[in-house]
Amino acid sequence: MYIVTGGAGFIGCWIVSELNKRGIKDILIVDRLRKAGKYRNLIGLEFEDFIDKTDFLTKIQGDHFSFKVKAVFHMGACSSTTEFNADYLMRNNYQYSKDVALWSKSKDARLIYASSAATYGDGKQGYSDQSEILGLKPLNPYGYSKYVFDLWAHKNGFLNEIVGLKFFNVYGPNEAHKGDMRSVVKKAHEQILDKEEVSLFKSHNEHYKDGDQLRDFIYVKDVIDIILFFLDHPEINGIYNVGTGQARSFNDLVKATFLAMDKKPNINFIDMPLELRPKYQYFTQADTNKLRGSGYVADFTSIEAGVADYVKNYLSYT
């Protein structure tokens, strides 16, 4: 059995889809479907069973599963960078992950879990997955909840046996349920349909022009390819960045969206809320040397190609 926590979520449902393409259907999906429309991500997928997250936790804490577990993809978490209930985040992202890790180890199952680039904080210490974990300073409770699990896994020797993936800015199909956390591509597409213009935050940093704030945008299909690479190579473990290693601007991303919709770019710049300015990142870029050194050699999808595929093949704009 393969277990995918967050299996109805953005990345989780793509993992299930790709496992299905390999002929794998012995999959247990763990999730909650409270958000409107999230269930749609499961349509067309084949899996053995679905279980609510709370029930899953109860069962693994009591060791009630008797089947053999091949691998656990732990993607289930609160992924909102604007969630400030730290107690909730520590329960949902930290303690939950500990329970999953300990149970996976007891079952001798391959564990691949979602960390986050948010653990790097403002980036002043760089974005290297080969640097010292202890020195990082996340900017928000979400980043901290991911960071402390990385620390726990490191201190307890788990990183010699499992894989933690620090996702950068992932975009692509099946993210509609994420609300305000959906990608800029999805938001831009909606704004273009509504008023044929896109609003981006002005820069409040003299080193960056409006819209030229930089992010490492990575297409979800590339993310899944990396995840399955680590499934296929159980001898490779540790924490790895999941980004392209090439930062691009929000202007580039939005212009690619207009182009994919056969429309002329029309970008409006608005003031950034005061509460966001002290914690805003103007630049993120994954250091991919460790990933490449592990043997992963596939090319990454450019934002022009990724956005075109997303918009033309998955989003309706007619």
CA dist 236 to 57, 219, 253, Å? Answer: 27, 23, 33
| Active-site hit among 2, 127, 142, 240 | 142
The catalytically annotated residue of 178, 187, 263, 290 is 178
Whether 142 is catalytic is yes
- Residues annotated as catalytic (active site), given as ranges: 142, 178
